[in-house]
Structure 1
Amino acid sequence: MTKTLLILIFSILVISRASAQQGRAVMGTVADSTGALPGINVKLTSDKDSTVVATSAKGLFSFPSVISKNFKVTVYGIGYQTFVRRYVMDNSNKPILLDPIKLAIESKMLKTVNVVAVNPITIKEDTVEYKASAYKVREGSPVEDLLKKLPGVSVDKDGNVTAHGKQVTKVRVNGKDYFTGDVQTATQNLPADIVENIQVIDDYGDQANLTGIKTGDPDKILNITIQKGKRNGKFGQGTVGAGNDDKYVAKISANAFYEDTQLSLLGTVNNNNTNAFNFGSGSGGSGSGGGGRGGSQSSASNGISTANGITINKSLGFNYRDDWGKKITTYGSYSFADKDRTTETTSQQQNLFQSGAIINNDNTTDKNHSINHRFDFNMEYKIDTANYLKINPSFSYGSSNDINNDIFSNSRLNTVTNGTDNSITNANSPTGGANILYNHKFKKKGRNFSVSGSVNFSKSTSDLDDQYNTQTDSVIVPLHQQINTMNTSQKVNAHASYIEPIGKTTYLEANYTYSYTNTDNNRLNYRFDPVTHVPMYIDSLSTLYNYQFITNSFGLNLRGVKPKYNYTVGLVAKPTSLNGESHNFETSTHTFNLVPTAHFVYNFAKNHTLNFNYSGTNNMPSFTQLQVQPDYSNPQNIVYGNPNLKPEFSNNFTLRYNQFDIASGNSLFTNLTFNETQNKIVTNTQPVANTVLNPGDKKDSTVQETRYLNTNGFYSMGGNYSFSKPFANRKYTVSLMGGATYSNNVSYIEGDRNLSKNLVWNQGAKVRFDLDSIMDTEVSANYSANTTKYSIPSSVNGDARTWTLGLDGRNFFWYDLILGYNLTQTINHGFSSTVKTNPTLLSTYVEYQFLKKHIASLRFQAFDLFNQNTGITRTVSSNQIIDTRTNRLGRYFLLSFTLRLQQFAGGRKGGGFRNGGGGRGGGRRGSFE
């Protein structure tokens, strides 16, 4: 009852408007001698207000809530003389209609200038560009807040960005990688007010960008373009905070931009699950829950972190970009992180068998300390107009110490096996390499030659000390083992491409690719004598394996470029070989594939495109799948490799349809995918006899064995869509989004072929309220279902459903006060009783902004007020369903202070981040319709 009352009071509070904000509406029109002027900037400034808007198609502008009775209006646009006038009004709150403003032509302009209204979205083939000035954000907000307002783009509670149904893997600033492309590092530390536009790009690689020949599966990346007026200056912020339960945070971000020279420094020390760098992995776990990634002081992310476990983080990073003369551009970064993470997990794993499922229940505590270094450098040399060279060396080093304690209970029919598994693992993994790309453009238009190559190495070593004990009935079986593993890999790749024009709009490309991978894996197994506790090397349990994977690709592509469409079609011959040896056993496998390639883009009209792509890829088996010696490290699951495995070959199809209507503002982004894999590497699992209790009898055994083999019949398909419709000049936006994936998984259970048909689908809706100086709020609802059907009869429950209801946003009171909130209710059905929970997550903060231009702020934050933050996930594979519940950061309170500073060329020191304005309501340019 108390929780329900709190939620009711809180909801009433956050959806009400601030009664103390007694502002008035100020409206007007802008025209010239020919009539109304659209797209003209109108700036209102006073001691309490500073906001910029753009006129609508009818020349209208409006400021909905102006507090001061004395203010100045500045009107400016390309080709017109700037208009400036001061206004003094009475003390009433009645709306003000200003006299029509008529602009005079700028006589110094020598060319005709066409002034158009702000176009928020531009769609061109593989790029969707969002105009930042069309989406208002509060002053001091990071780019992440801007991304949340872009149609077709979503940001989860840990800062991971998904655009048009695909996760963004890299971020660039002005076309160059920022902190090696680390997504959250850029989106959560760069201020939104310096952004000109954000591009969502399907990136096929540097070579494709130079030649125009686009094949393979593209990466989804973001390119953030900085406003020209903000490319010369210094900006940054610092935050310090402390709270109950010894919570603390200290963070600094400092940037110096001088046109093409950019220097950035980031550092943080905290124990509230905030990561500065990801080092190639996601920042948090998945599943139900809500919240922000630690709660950046200037961000609207004010919810509960969904990162699994509790983390103490120390991070430092430096990003560099500079032009060494007119021909050489360099950029790179160094990042360091020291993390301590404690994770507590409860899981239930259902393993399907015809003779009865094995149910595994685990309770695990894991303590991990890791250190990571990462260095990346790029040099682009534009030798002349015909020659281009790019060199990219990189290096990283990671080390970790992991202590894992697991208590488990495995059951099957009438047998129950209980046990413990306590392990300590020390590991390190240095990696490094270099990429090089050279491109030459011949004098004949369209004729081009390019060559690229890469050399990479990696080495990982680990020492595992494992004490494993099982008890079935009254029989206890102890196992103390030490496993030392060293894996080294060398990879060499070379690619050459030649393009010859064969017509005015068609080109022929011939290419060749050589790829070589050499892997050595040494796995030494020691068993401790139960009496003397002396380790003894066991050759029959150890593995010494070496294998080489070689691919030669010969390709021919035809490219056509037309006004309405362009295409690339071709054929690739891919012979591959896999050679390996272990314990005097040798194996050799050869395959040959003829792979068609296709890339097609059709432009129906401006901002209306259809994009089709096909690619074929080879995937080599892993060491675990190839090893000859059985792996007994987990006595409950004995793994046998298969050195005769063939490489997989996947056919991948993608169809994208994007449309944006300028008149209505409606946007639609859709994506369809299909994947079919030949020689899919699958498992064959079966129970094995318990050698201690009933040798030769496997009917009641809880022990299983896993073997690998190749098979056909695996395919998956999926689709998603996002539709957004704005109202009242994007003050209100309604969005519908949904998607579904279907997988026809193949496995073998006790030697019989099993089809696991898995369907996952979701449907969501959200409404955004962007009321300047009043509220910035999103209400959302989402329903998802996960259903699995097996061809082999089973009692395993394969259905799970989740409802997620959310309220996330900020309300603005008076001139200096902000109330932020995040409320999420999750309702789960069908999960196992050992992990099921329906958390109600409520997080809020109150922030007071002060000093000139609001450069300083105090924030009091309350995270997870009901202390119910928990992660729940379901993972479905060929014959397994795993439900997992993981601990996450729980209730705490934090008081923090933030100071933001900036200085741009021609500007003044101090002040919050601005976009021609700043001040109350964010100062970003918008439109009025």
Structure 2
Amino acid sequence: MMRYFTLLILVLWATATTTLAQQSLQGKVVDKNSGESLPGAYIFIKNLENNTLSSTYSDDEGNFTIKKPQINQFILEISFIGYQTLQKRIDYNGSNSLGTFSIEEDTKQLDEVEVQGNVYTGEVKGDTVSFNASAYKTRTQASAGTLIRKMPGVTMQGGTITVQGETVGRVLVDGEPFFGDDPAMAMQNIPVEIIDKIEFLDQKSDQARLTGFDDGETIKTINIITKEDKRGGKFGKIFGGYGTDDNYLLGGNINLFDGPQRLTILGLSNNINQQNFSADDLSGAFGGGNRGRGRGRRGNDLMVRERPGITSTNSFGVNFTDKFDDGKAEFTGSYFFNDSKNTLNRTSSRNYILSNDSLQLYNESQINQNHDQSHRLDMRLEYEFNDQHALIWRPEIGYNMGDAQRFLFGQNLYDSNTPISETRNTTTSQEESLGLESDLTYRFKFNKPGRTISTSIETEYDQDKNESDLLSASQNYQTENLDSLIQKSISKSNSLQYEIDIEYTEPIGKKSQIRLEYELNNDLGDNLQEVSQREMESTLFELDSTLTNEFENGYKRHEIGLGYRYGGEKLRIYSSLDYEISLLDSDRLFPGFENTKRTFKNFVPRIFMNYEPNESTSIRFGYRTDTDAPAVRQLQDVIDNSNPLQISMGNPDLEQEYGHRFFTRIRKINPETSKSFFMWFSGGIRNNFFGNSTFIAEKDTLIQNEVLLRQGGQLSMPVNLSNAWNANTSISFGFPLSFIQSNLNLTTRLNYSKQPGKINGQDNTNQNYGMSQGIGISSNVGEHLDFNISTDGNYNIIRSSLQENLDNDYYYQSTRLDLFWNFIGGFFLSTDINNQFYQGLGDEYDQSIWLMNADFGYQFPPKEKLELKLTIFDLLNQNTSISRNVTDVYIENERTEVLRQFFMLTLTYNLRDFASGARTQAKPQRR
């Protein structure tokens, strides 16, 4: 398999880098009457359809040099303030000299034709891909999210934006942060009408930007460049809706922009499953899988992890950005509050893979009710005191609390009609957590260019507490034994992690630089799990020493390394070789003291390369290694029996993971034809992979001579395994379909994963081959008619080494149509139609599901700021959620209850009040 991936890379690499040499054309611009040269005149080369291909400006002597296009017939345009614009058709005859062009002040040209040119679709500039917003037509009152969906290789799902296979981690507006590290939030709050360009770029780390030493570590970033005349003013929207079954939706956002000073206020309240702020008011009601993320290291500061099921949400957010001290200092801050109530009703069917071509089934149904509240405060201060001293400080505070109630019924079976054992349990819990983070980076520049010293200090403190009550009844159908469990648990954990990094950079020549680095990382944590039980006939709880555990863990890492950077005009390389010593020191304090100490020594090489053979092509390659330590809970050999049929425990003998990761990216855009090509290939290998060892009881078994595991029940424990790796590639082509005024995007994806595990002491490896083809057509007609049609077919092949003949192949296809039609006056019709087709999951799950939503509304004149619409959600009443999970020991199908059909009437006011100019102009994007 790897052989074919390598061959594919070589073919695509050769295709992308084979280009014709570009010639340069020279000319001069003078005043027609005086003959004096005109410095600063703008020169454009356009094709015969008046699309801009390249541009430059004349120097102090009026001379200019510009790249010759690949076509031999083109238009040369010259413009200069106070002069008539000159446009002249050029038929290239082999000469690189265009001659002297005379432009006249206040006189009309007779031989030249002045034409309003259309902008080109996009271009590649180094590590940046730039698209012109005006090249993509959208509906009125659309957001930036609607715009970027039309661009080649871009997908948006939940709170995640992917660009040519890479996940976006940051959004800038005119080069400045907007909503912290929350890309989806920015996309939903910037209207299309203020956008001039969209840039996709690889933004360097804070330390790399301060020192000028590119270490290859980047964040995929979107930079929204606004129109100059719309960088000040007020914009946003306020909406409210009410529907059948007492469904409601209230919310809005207000944005106040004045150059670099920006204030955004958001609010949302609803019971239709919209869990995050969204431009598409009802898009969250689809009730898909569990996407997003919880609280943790940086990311999505104004978003919450989207829960499956049905959720009611009340949330509020504010974001502020400004500059002070003559632009030397820049401050960004955001606060977010969320209150959500979630109900999850889910059924699942799981096939365990055993030896001798036998299977064991596990069926489960659960109803969960959760109520959560969260507060988040995030700030960023960037201060450049002078040319030598600068710092960046990023503090964050997060606080969460919640309570939950869970009802679960689980059953192990030999086949669909022969049960082995079952459990019914109810769990109530309360949890509370506090998180504090701070990242501080400081840099000092010496007088010699390229010589710097910098340090960064990162700290993170987390405190968590959970209390739960469990009431459980379990039965063995073979022995007809019945037992109950009444249990109280208290879990407390504290962790402190700090990282100190010192770097020194020194130039060696004009294009090279070296870096010396020392890094100290220390991760300290303690965890207490206290479990008490009582008998059915008693009222007294007694401490269970088997389930109770107190644990302290320390993981210290020293790393020293030498890095080298080469920065040429077309080729840039960064490489480093670090030596890492890691010390693991863990103490089990109860029950019984036990100390575990281990030392790990590793070389950690990295290399990143950027090659730009021409102005339209960019190639990036990266290889890196990394280490990963086991978490505190993975090391604790304490049993978790919250589900008596599926218990788990930690493993104090876990070793450190060591991983290899690599990627290749090729991007090519031809502005003359508006064609684009993107290719992404990545893979990874994990040594000492944190996998699972699963024991399935053939009879009632006591674990650690204390905890009963019923016949058919499973005990899982993390272990180190080998031969875990994955590879995937994504290839995307985009080009215009002029005959229907649309753009076509084709995306092909291939992936392979190999995941090892152990089942009853035997090695098992699940191999997953995936192939998918996506086709998308987005309209470019205008604001009155806007549509997007896409389909994505996915075929998956799953093979298990324990049961090689087991057929778990399945096919999944998602097809979607979005249509907006302003058919007469202010009346519009909007609809989105989704089809989810499943084949190969089994009779109960093989379905073709249609979800259709429809809006009928009116936008009131004169400026269409007020909108009234009637929404029908799930018009065909077929909404459902189905998913498949594949692990090293089982294959599982899930069905989740989602929101069903309702009607809603919504009134929206769109605020659009732009100032003619901003207080100050925003600076270009920082990379």
Task: Report the TM-score range of the alignment, normalised by the length of the smaller protein.
Answer: 0.7 to 0.9
Task: Answer with 655-664 or 613-622: which moved more.
Answer: 613-622
Alignment RMSD: 3.3
TM-score by length of 1: 0.81
Q: How many residues align?
A: 805
Tell me the distance in 2 between the aligned counterparts of 1:143 and 1:160. 14
Query: 1:656 Cα deviation (Å)?
Result: 0.3
Return the match for 2:724 from 714, 726, 738: 714
Q: Per the alignment, in what secondary structure is the counterpart of residue 853 of structure 1? A: coil
* Cα displacement string for residues 762-785 of structure 1 (whole angstroms, at most 9, x for unaligned residues): 111122222125521122222102
Q: Return closer, same or farther for 1:612/1:382 CA change in 2, 3 Å cut-off.
A: same
Question: Partner residue of 2:714?
Answer: 704
Tell me the distance in 2 between the aligned counterparts of 1:276 and 1:104. 57
Task: Report matched runs for 1:799-818 at 5 Å.
Answer: 799-818=809-828
Question: Partner residue of 2:366?
Answer: 364
Q: Per the alignment, in what secondary structure is the counterpart of residue 863 of structure 2? A: helix
Question: Partner residue of 1:528?
Answer: 534
* Cα displacement string for residues 526-556 of structure 1 (whole angstroms, at most 9, x for unaligned residues): 1122112332211221111111111111111
Question: Partner residue of 2:674?
Answer: 665
Which structure carries more relative contact order (alpha carbon 8 Å, separation 6+)? 1
Q: Is the 8 A contact 2:663 2:680 kept in 1?
A: yes
Tell me the distance in 2 between the aligned counterparts of 1:277 and 1:455. 30
Paired AA for residue 498 in structure 1: Y
Q: Is the 8 A contact 1:288 1:871 kept in 2?
A: yes
Tell me the distance in 1 between the aligned counterparts of 2:290 and 2:834. 6
Tell me the distance in 1 between the aligned counterparts of 2:182 and 2:106. 45
Q: Is the 8 A contact 1:415 1:702 kept in 2?
A: no
Q: Is the 8 A contact 1:39 1:55 kept in 2?
A: no
Return the match for 2:699 from 690, 698, 703: 690
Question: Partner residue of 1:340?
Answer: 341
Question: Partner residue of 1:457?
Answer: 461
Paired AA for residue 767 in structure 2: K
Query: 1:80 Cα deviation (Å)?
Result: 5.3
Query: 1:563 Cα deviation (Å)?
Result: 1.3
* Cα displacement string for residues 388-420 of structure 1 (whole angstroms, at most 9, x for unaligned residues): 111111101111111111122211366522221
Instruction: Confirm or deny that 1:614 pairs with 2:623.
Output: yes
Return the match for 1:735 from 733, 745, 763: 745
In structure 2, runs of 5+ residues without a counterpart are 1-30, 33-41, 55-76, 86-102, 108-114, 292-304, 919-927
Paired AA for residue 421 in structure 2: T
Question: Partner residue of 1:411?
Answer: 413
Question: Partner residue of 2:450?
Answer: 446
Return the match for 1:640 from 625, 639, 649: 649
Return the match for 2:759 from 737, 743, 749: 749
Paired AA for residue 675 in structure 1: G
Tell me the distance in 1 between the aligned counterparts of 2:290 and 2:342. 20
Instruction: Confirm or deny that 1:262 pairs with 2:262.
Output: yes
Query: 1:503 Cα deviation (Å)?
Result: 0.9
Q: Return closer, same or farther for 1:629/1:465 CA change in 2, 3 Å cut-off.
A: same
Question: Partner residue of 1:379?
Answer: 381
Task: Answer with 738-747 or 767-776: which moved more.
Answer: 767-776
Question: Partner residue of 1:428?
Answer: 432
Tell me the distance in 2 between the aligned counterparts of 1:379 and 1:217. 21
Paired AA for residue 490 in structure 1: L
* Cα displacement string for residues 785-828 of structure 1 (whole angstroms, at most 9, x for unaligned residues): 22211111267542211122322221221231221111122221
Q: Per the alignment, in what secondary structure is the counterpart of residue 403 of structure 2? A: strand
Q: Return closer, same or farther for 1:124/1:616 CA change in 2, 3 Å cut-off.
A: farther
Query: 1:217 Cα deviation (Å)?
Result: 5.7
Return the match for 1:600 from 609, 613, 635: 609
Q: Percent identity?
A: 26
Return the match for 1:899 from 909, 912, 917: 909
* Cα displacement string for residues 480-530 of structure 1 (whole angstroms, at most 9, x for unaligned residues): 212111111101011111111111111111111111111111111111221
Q: Is the 8 A contact 2:141 2:192 kept in 1?
A: yes
Task: Report matched runs for 1:182-221 at 5 Å.
Answer: 182-215=182-215, 218-221=218-221
Instruction: Confirm or deny that 1:173 pairs with 2:199.
Output: no
Question: Partner residue of 1:400?
Answer: 402
Tell me the distance in 2 between the aligned counterparts of 1:363 and 1:432. 37
Tell me the distance in 2 between the aligned counterparts of 1:524 and 1:440. 50
* Cα displacement string for residues 296-336 of structure 1 (whole angstroms, at most 9, x for unaligned residues): xxxxxxxxx99621111111111111112212111110010
Paired AA for residue 826 in structure 1: Q
Tell me the distance in 1 between the aligned counterparts of 2:751 and 2:890. 18
Query: 1:690 Cα deviation (Å)?
Result: 3.4
Tell me the distance in 2 between the aligned counterparts of 1:860 and 1:225. 34
Tell me the distance in 1 between the aligned counterparts of 2:862 and 2:554. 64
Q: Is the 8 A contact 1:645 1:710 kept in 2?
A: yes
Instruction: Confirm or deny that 1:552 pairs with 2:552.
Output: no
Q: Is the 8 A contact 2:138 2:147 kept in 1?
A: yes
Paired AA for residue 657 in structure 2: E
Query: 1:576 Cα deviation (Å)?
Result: 1.0
Question: Partner residue of 1:791?
Answer: 801
TM-score by length of 2: 0.82
Question: Partner residue of 1:18?
Answer: none
Instruction: Confirm or deny that 1:653 pairs with 2:662.
Output: yes
Q: Is the 8 A contact 1:144 1:159 kept in 2?
A: no
Instruction: Confirm or deny that 1:131 pairs with 2:142.
Output: no
Query: 1:284 Cα deviation (Å)?
Result: 7.0
Q: Return closer, same or farther for 1:486/1:833 CA change in 2, 3 Å cut-off.
A: farther
Q: Return closer, same or farther for 1:448/1:290 CA change in 2, 3 Å cut-off.
A: closer
Tell me the distance in 1 between the aligned counterparts of 2:196 and 2:78. 17
Q: Return closer, same or farther for 1:430/1:104 CA change in 2, 3 Å cut-off.
A: farther
Question: Partner residue of 2:790?
Answer: 780
Q: Return closer, same or farther for 1:480/1:132 CA change in 2, 3 Å cut-off.
A: same
Q: Per the alignment, in what secondary structure is the counterpart of residue 534 of structure 1? A: coil
Query: 1:733 Cα deviation (Å)?
Result: 1.1
Q: Is the 8 A contact 2:275 2:312 kept in 1?
A: no
Q: Return closer, same or farther for 1:290/1:382 CA change in 2, 3 Å cut-off.
A: closer
Task: Report matched runs for 1:578-597 at 5 Å.
Answer: 578-582=584-588, 583=590, 584-597=593-606
Question: Partner residue of 2:520?
Answer: 514
Query: 1:712 Cα deviation (Å)?
Result: 2.0
Paired AA for residue 452 in structure 2: N
Tell me the distance in 2 between the aligned counterparts of 1:590 and 1:769. 59
Q: Per the alignment, in what secondary structure is the counterpart of residue 184 of structure 1? A: helix
Q: Return closer, same or farther for 1:151/1:890 CA change in 2, 3 Å cut-off.
A: same
Return the match for 2:872 from 862, 869, 875: 862
Question: Partner residue of 1:141?
Answer: 142
Q: Return closer, same or farther for 1:641/1:230 CA change in 2, 3 Å cut-off.
A: same
Tell me the distance in 2 between the aligned counterparts of 1:651 and 1:214. 21
Paired AA for residue 133 in structure 2: A
Q: Return closer, same or farther for 1:151/1:307 CA change in 2, 3 Å cut-off.
A: farther
* Cα displacement string for residues 163-191 of structure 1 (whole angstroms, at most 9, x for unaligned residues): 11122233233334323322322111221
Q: Per the alignment, in what secondary structure is the counterpart of residue 848 of structure 2? A: coil
Tell me the distance in 2 between the aligned counterparts of 1:904 and 1:727. 34
Question: Partner residue of 1:488?
Answer: 494
Paired AA for residue 395 in structure 2: P
Q: Is the 8 A contact 2:273 2:287 kept in 1?
A: no
Q: Per the alignment, in what secondary structure is the counterpart of residue 563 of structure 2? A: strand
Paired AA for residue 378 in structure 2: D
Tell me the distance in 1 between the aligned counterparts of 2:362 and 2:285. 22
* Cα displacement string for residues 1-56 of structure 1 (whole angstroms, at most 9, x for unaligned residues): xxxxxxxxxxxxxxxxxxxxxxxxxxxxxxx99xxx99899xxxxxxxxxxxx954
Q: Is the 8 A contact 1:266 1:318 kept in 2?
A: yes
Question: Partner residue of 1:872?
Answer: 882
Paired AA for residue 547 in structure 2: L
Question: Partner residue of 1:680?
Answer: 689
Question: Partner residue of 2:840?
Answer: 830
Q: Is the 8 A contact 2:732 2:747 kept in 1?
A: yes
Q: Return closer, same or farther for 1:793/1:261 CA change in 2, 3 Å cut-off.
A: same
Query: 1:668 Cα deviation (Å)?
Result: 1.0
